[in-house]
Structure 1
Amino acid sequence: MQRIYFDYNASTPLASEVVDAMQPLLSDYFGNPSALHWAGKPVKELLQKAREQVAELISCSPSEIIFTSGGSEANNLALKGYYFKNRTKGNHIITSKIEHPAIINPCKFLEQIGAKVTYVGVDQYGRVSPEEIEKAITKETILITIMHSNNEVGTLQPIKEIADIAKRYGIAFHSDASQSVGKVPVDINDLGVDLLTIAGHKLYAPKGIGALYIRKGIELEPLIHGAGHEFGLRAGTENTLLAVGLGKACEVAKKGLSDKSLKELTDYFWSELKQEFGDHVVLNGHIDERLPNTLNVSFVNKIGQDILSAIPLLAASTGSACHAGSIELSPVLKEMKVPVHIGMGAIRFSLGRHTTKSEVDQVMQWLRENFNAV
């Protein structure tokens, strides 16, 4: 039997177009993009094209895109960079309790050096309340950071409403969109954010590359000091190979945003699960306001890891990849007040471009065969 991959939220395979775009940089284009001679100029042009492709996906200017080593670095640059540059204006940050560790841990670090951080809760669907965000604002608040979509349950947050509040109070707003860019339309002008994180390996680009959108006029202190690369915000010779991969991945993603087939396949999977297991399966997250590829379900009175261990050919997750191997209730599900006997049975199935209906049907067969045995 073939192995089946239902863990696209953890990482995606490289798109064939991405591999093709990167290939020349493995042999022909080896120059430093900062060099002014014949070896450097074409590499600089490729880097600029990649920046334009990323910018086009989220509808911003190429000069507002900073390439990073991934989503974690982009988040760190957004939070630490903004705090270090603007702490004379205030020292208060607002975030949510269900953020990725790449947000929570930088916030905890900043608390050690004088920042005050408010962690707001979520409702039963994993949604942040804009009203709770507004209540948390003080005279010292300088930054709000709320993820665009949750990596575990897929719930989409009311980013536009929160951005309106932030703008009204003159507070900068960052959103970690690592999981949503490439899956749903992300337009920074529509959302109203000032900073936005992109992670390459979540949208069929390589690992080790990401980007941070920085709205013109927003000032950050660099985390890496040196020469003036990336508009002076990230020193170090640019990794053009991976940047080109991210650029091409963004170009491909933009073309596919109108395709509803993945959502239809995910909905089909959920309907099959409900039909087969009835009240023994529960959806975690919002039924409508969620990523089109993400299905986080709990098998009641079961342990999710036990089910996955019984199906070794299936790659899926009991939460986010960062918590793989743990059978403790996910912190996200805890904050959503999911009862332990339900939350322990949680499995995140995240589908992708290469997922087929026959694969969904095969997974359903495996679940039927193993449900009563674990």
Structure 2
Amino acid sequence: MNLDGVFRREYGRAVSVLVRSLGDIGLAEEVVQDAFVEAVRRWPADGVPPSPAGWLITTARNRAIDRLRREATREERHRQALELLAAERGDEEGEEGVVRDDRLRLIFTCCHPSLAMGVRVALTLRLLGGLTTEEVARAFLVPEPTMAQRLVRAKNKIRDAGIPYRVPYEADLPARLGGVLAVLYLIFNEGYSTVDRPELSAEAIRLGRVLAALMPDEPEVTGLLALMLLSESRRPARVTDDGELVLLPDQDRGRWDRGMVEEGHALVRQCLRRGRPGPYQIQAAINAVHSDAPTTGETDWAQVVALYDQLMVVAPTPVVALNRAVAVAELRGPAEALDLVDALALDRYHLHHSVRGNLLRRLGRPDEAAAAYETALRMATTDADRTVVRRLLDG
């Protein structure tokens, strides 16, 4: 009996239902976890119930009622308990607002504008995105203990400030959209950057389609969906039969999913017609240029560099600058690119050192290249990344 699998499937739904009843995401998360502990104790002997989610929700709700009765004053605890009991009948058929998808609705709920953008994204990834604290830390390029402290502080702020977590109204969506887009992109990226969690990328794309249908006039929503589709189109050629990553220059482009490529291109053209470029749209356009070229050597690198120049205006991050340097190396040579890479503060990012190793090797400096690859190997955080770096080191 794979209880962990059951928990992963039902956790988000159970928390979503309890948040709507309680208005307190911290309490909702705690009582659902308590319910799962009870399930681990009872289900092996009693069997998995016909509706695991219903069992978890009911058990968690009862624990929440007990906690409210214990911790509140007599009058207040009775009021809250009665409200929670009354909400039980309306949870499944009550007001959903304009966001009909359970997972997407809860992501909007968690991306509360009272929290700083980075904090709301990190907290949502941890609670709803299926990512561990280690994976969230990797997404933000910070040590795991640092991210753990940020998450604890965020939960404490929610509790101490009494930030209301409720299903957002339609008017609330634009203020929360930036966080929601970042959450979907980082969930996708975690599934794309590893070889053993493709379900994360698939779920991010599914939610991207739901969001695009919900907010068709938001070009960045369209841009993110295009970016995910164009990236995901390369998955068949990106992983060997042995599960190893294949870098872009070495991929068999004939294996790319042409349906996804064509859909992504159509969405990019739709963005271009609107004339309101943003970070996701520009990244999608960069990927569209790559997918136009039969080989790496035939890529329009001048256009790629120009698009990265635009991206640096709207999203001037070190990672964007690193990717731009890779394109500059193809257009103007590795020497200029190495100067750009050496100016970046990305010492903890393994791709920074891998790129340096590649540029140094191309410049005929093999000892320095090997040292850079060794550093990249120490910084890599997944087996797939380490395998790629070892292959580069040995090559």
Q: Same fold (TM over 0.5)?
A: no
More strand by share: 1
By relative contact order (CA 8 Å, sep 6+), the higher-ranking structure is 1
For normalisation by structure 1, the TM-score amounts to: 0.26
Structure 1 or 2, whichever has the larger Rg, is: 2
Under a length normalisation based on structure 2, what TM-score does the superposition of the two structures give?
A: 0.25
- Judging by fraction of residues, say which structure has more helix: 2
